[in-house]
Structure 1
Amino acid sequence: QNGIIGITVDSSWAEPRSESADDREASELAMQFHIGWYMHPIFSKTGNYPPVMINRINALSQQQGFASSRLPVFTPTEIEKLKGSSDFFGINTYTTSIVYKNDAQNSGNFRIPSFDHDRNTIGYQDPTWPGSGSGWLKVYPKGMHQLLNWIRNEYDNPPVYVTENGVSDRGGTKDVARVNYYNQYLGAVLDAMAEGSDVRGYVAWSLMDNFEWRAGLTERFGLFYVDYEDPTRKRSAKTSAKVLAKIIETREIDLEYLPEPEVFIPEPGAAMSVLVSRMLMIVSLAFALLKTLV
């Protein structure tokens, strides 16, 4: 049937805090420990875990009194068997972190031993980046471009499928922020492709609003709005659904295209803001009327 099968890894770009050697090293540590841990054995020419993981965990294990490295060792047969065992490189990616190295005093307060201490980087996000309906998800399209560039350079340009990419909000169907997100992140994918990245496919997360882990139904990622109060769970196309449909149909990103949703449902916060504004207006008018009567 000529099918393909591959592996997807949770991925995000680790942006160095500055151009200093230490911060660039922190970026590479974060990428190798987070992505390379799974993908280096499969996609690198040498196979095995990333050398920086092998060397660092071995050295720390000795310092911590272990008889051998805490990182399991592949046999030569396993190394060869794993190399090239995936037809494509899948990524689920949403956001970016800025990273720098943990210091000798362990200011990151990482448990010893632990994965975080082995990796030895501290991450944060720029508060000026646009937010979303999720505290962890800030919008930084450049991170998508950098991530794809890193994969291309690190693993000799494997076929890449973006198997999840999207942004959350708290509700509403005229989801302009989601439209902007897709326009910008798809633009970043196109930029990486223009530079040589072999991106074969892109999947938006998600088709419709869903139960989102610990956030439950409070964070919405869908292109289609789900009415959880309706027993039939009625679905309605948001603005973003129409925008993405046009991108797929025309194979172009039209930054001016912003259609109305199938049904207009305001964001919860927006509805409350309107209510508060009206109440304040009524109070102001009441005070003005009292002044004229006194």
Structure 2
Amino acid sequence: MQVFYTGAEWQKNWLHALQSHKIIGFVPTMGALHEGHLDLIRNSKKSSDITVVSIFVNPIQFNNQEDFDKYPVLIQQDLKLLEKENVDFVFMPKLETMYPEKPSISIQFGELETILEGEFRPGHFSGVGIIVSKLFHIIRPHQAFFGQKDLQQVAVIKRLVADLSFPVEIITVPTRREEDGLALSSRNLRLNSEERAKSLILYKSLCSAKNELLEGTNWLEVRNQIQQRFEEEPLAKLEYFELVETEKFTVMNSFDSSQKASICVAAYIGNIRLIDNLPINP
């Protein structure tokens, strides 16, 4: 496994891959790796000749400075995991490499940045779009792998690739969960034991809502039931619980079984913000 820190260091390896007609798979991460990240890497290794993983905590996608400051940094642990997975290359740029100066541009994603995550995290997707664009320009992968848990982010990145004509295929990998259903997330490391137990309200609510919809219950009635469930849990504060069309990520006011739909949720458990989603008819 080779670690590099600048685009110039990667250039000769990219040229060699190009000349050898090898497929480059790319997994961008912010570190604090878990099995969900490893699923992305394993998918890359199955369909690519070379797998590149980046580790970079991107400051401009955080709209809460405290959240950025508390983001777990576990570099040595991460590198051991990546070596065990036989990753070919790891890109670990310094902050000044990615941002010699504060970016003066922003990227707008239309309605995608006004709903759900976009509404509650203003500027977040612009920050995501800028860093992903930079990473795509540096790595120049043929394929890039993203987790379904960040479903709206996947929609944003697909829009970025389409609008800016990046020659990269975006591959979505299903959400990895704990045995009790909690979606794996680096933020889970910050939950205390009580918060960890109460965090299951997200997954249980998604499953309950999915079952109700499949049985024919009206969506607005389902959502009201879930909102009531959150109001009865003192440790939980619901931000949104919405039904979306999975591919275009547009909000739906009723369930239509002829369309691919997913339920999305975001909530605070204590002071930790968690998100999750569940496809109804994948």
TM over 0.5: no
Bigger-Rg structure (1/2): 1
TM-score bracket, shorter-length normalisation? under 0.3
